[in-house]
Structure 1
C-alpha cells in the first residue's frame, strides 16, 4: 500500500486530498499542528494522525520518525500547509509567511528524504500557487495580475523554486508544484470566491498518483504545465 503524508490536512484542500487518497487505498497520515483537530480529522477519514508543526524542526523530525518507525518508508509527501499572509508587508509578517509557505516545505522535505528514498516510486507534491508565477502576475489577461498579495505571492514563488531545485538535486524523486485552482476554503472566505474543495483536491491527487515516468520539476495546474 502507498504511504502518504499530507501536511495541514485537518481541513480544506489537505483534508479532502486525504479523503480521496484514502479512498484509493493509500495509508494516509494526516499532519496537523493542532492535535485535537488533527485526531478528529483522521478519525473521520479512517486515516492516521501525526502531530506536525511545519514551523518547528523538532516537531517535523518527530513526525517523520513516527512514520518511519511504523511504515519503514514514505511514498508520497504532499506539502500542503500554508497561510494566506494577506496583511501589510512588514518584517515580522514576511518572516511568518516565508516560515510556513517556504521554509516549512524545506523542513518537511529534508526530514522526509531518507524515507522517500526507500520508496519504489517516491513523489513530492507542493501545493503552491500561480500567484507565485512571474508570468501570471505580469500578464494583464490573468486574474493574478490584479491581486495584491505580496507576501503570499513571494513566498509561493519561493516554494515553487524550491520544488524545481529539489527535482534537480534529487533525480530519483518526482517533485512538482501545483496551482490547485481558486478554492472555497478558510483562506478565501474573506474574498467570497472559490470552487468546491473536491475539484481542487482532485488536481492534487492526480499529481500524487503519478507513475514512475511522470513529470518532475514543474509548476502545474489541472490543464498542464504553467510558465514560471
Structure 2
C-alpha cells in the first residue's frame, strides 16, 4: 500500500487531501502540530470507513518534533510515496512593506519556507525508497513575482511583506529541489489550491475545500510521464493550469 505524509492535515485543505488520498487507497500519516487534534481528525475519517489513517505529531517549526516524527514514521514504514507540505500561516492581516515587524515576517517564513525545507530534508530518505516519490509544496498564486508585477492581474493590489514573499521563496525552493532530483523518479511541484474558503482567510475565498484538495492530490498522483518543477494554479492560469513564477 502506498503511503503519504501531509503536514497541517488536521483540518481544512490538508484534512480533505488526506480524505481524498485515503479514497485512492493510500495509507495516510496525518501530521498535526497538536496530536489530540490530529487524533480527532483521524477518528472522523475512520468513522467514514477510511481506516488507513494515523495521526502523527508534527510541528514544522520545531526541529525536535520533526526528528521525533521521522523516527516514529521509520518504525511504521520503510518508504514514503508522497509528501504534501501543506502547513502554512498567513501572519498579520496587514503587511505593509515599510512597517511590518521583522518578528512577524520571520514567523511566517519559519512555517512557510524553513518548515518545508526542514520536513523535506528529514523525510527525503524515506521518499528515496519509493519507486515513484512525489513532493507537493502548497503555495499560493500570490507567490508569483511575474503576476505581482502585472497591473492587469486581478490580485495585483493584494500585496504583503510576509506571506507573499514567503510563498515566492517556497516556489524558488521547489525549483531548486526539483532540479537536484531531476534525474530520479521524483516529481516535485508547487501547487496553488486557489482562493478557498477556510479558517485561514476567515472563509472569505470563493473556492471549495474539496476542489482545493483535489489540486494537491492531482499532483501527488502524477504518473511517470507527469511534469516536475511546475507551478500549478488553476486560479491564475485556468487555460493551461500553469502559473508564471
| TM superposition score normalised by structure 1 | 0.96
Which residue of 89, 98, 114 maps to 1:103?
114
Shift in Å, 1:196? 1.3
- Structure 1 unaligned regions, length at least 5: none
Q: Which moved more, 1:209-218 or 1:91-100?
A: 209-218
Partner of residue 193, structure 2: 180
Which residue of 217, 220, 224 maps to 2:232?
220
For 2:130 and 2:157, locate their aligned partners in 1 and report how far apart those are by CA, in whole Å.
42
Residue 70 of structure 2: SS of its match in structure 1?
helix
For 2:150 and 2:42, locate their aligned partners in 1 and report how far apart those are by CA, in whole Å.
41
| TM superposition score normalised by structure 2 | 0.89
Shift in Å, 1:170? 1.7
For 2:215 and 2:12, locate their aligned partners in 1 and report how far apart those are by CA, in whole Å.
14
Residue 146 of structure 1: SS of its match in structure 2?
coil
For 2:19 and 2:151, locate their aligned partners in 1 and report how far apart those are by CA, in whole Å.
36
- Structure 2 unaligned regions, length at least 5: 47-52
For 1:124 and 1:200, locate their aligned partners in 2 and report how far apart those are by CA, in whole Å.
17
Partner of residue 24, structure 1: 24
Residue 158 of structure 1: SS of its match in structure 2?
helix
Residue 63 (str. 1) matches residue 74 (str. 2): no
Partner of residue 14, structure 1: 14
- Higher helix content, 1 or 2: 1
Aligned residues: 227
Residue 155 of structure 2: SS of its match in structure 1?
helix
Shift in Å, 1:140? 2.2
Residue 16 of structure 1: SS of its match in structure 2?
helix
Larger radius of gyration: 2
Shift in Å, 1:55? 0.2
Q: Which moved more, 1:115-124 or 1:83-92?
A: 83-92
Deviations 1:22-65 (A, max 9, x none): 11111001001011111100111131100000001111111122
Deviations 1:79-132 (A, max 9, x none): 000001234421110110100000000010000110000001000000001111
Shift in Å, 1:148? 2.5
> Does the aligned pair in 1 maintain the 2:105–2:162 contact within 8 Å?
yes
For 1:6 and 1:64, locate their aligned partners in 2 and report how far apart those are by CA, in whole Å.
13
Residue 89 of structure 2: SS of its match in structure 1?
coil
Which residue of 141, 146, 151 maps to 2:162?
151
* Aligned pairs (5 A) from 1:109-188: 109-171=120-182, 172=184, 173-188=186-201
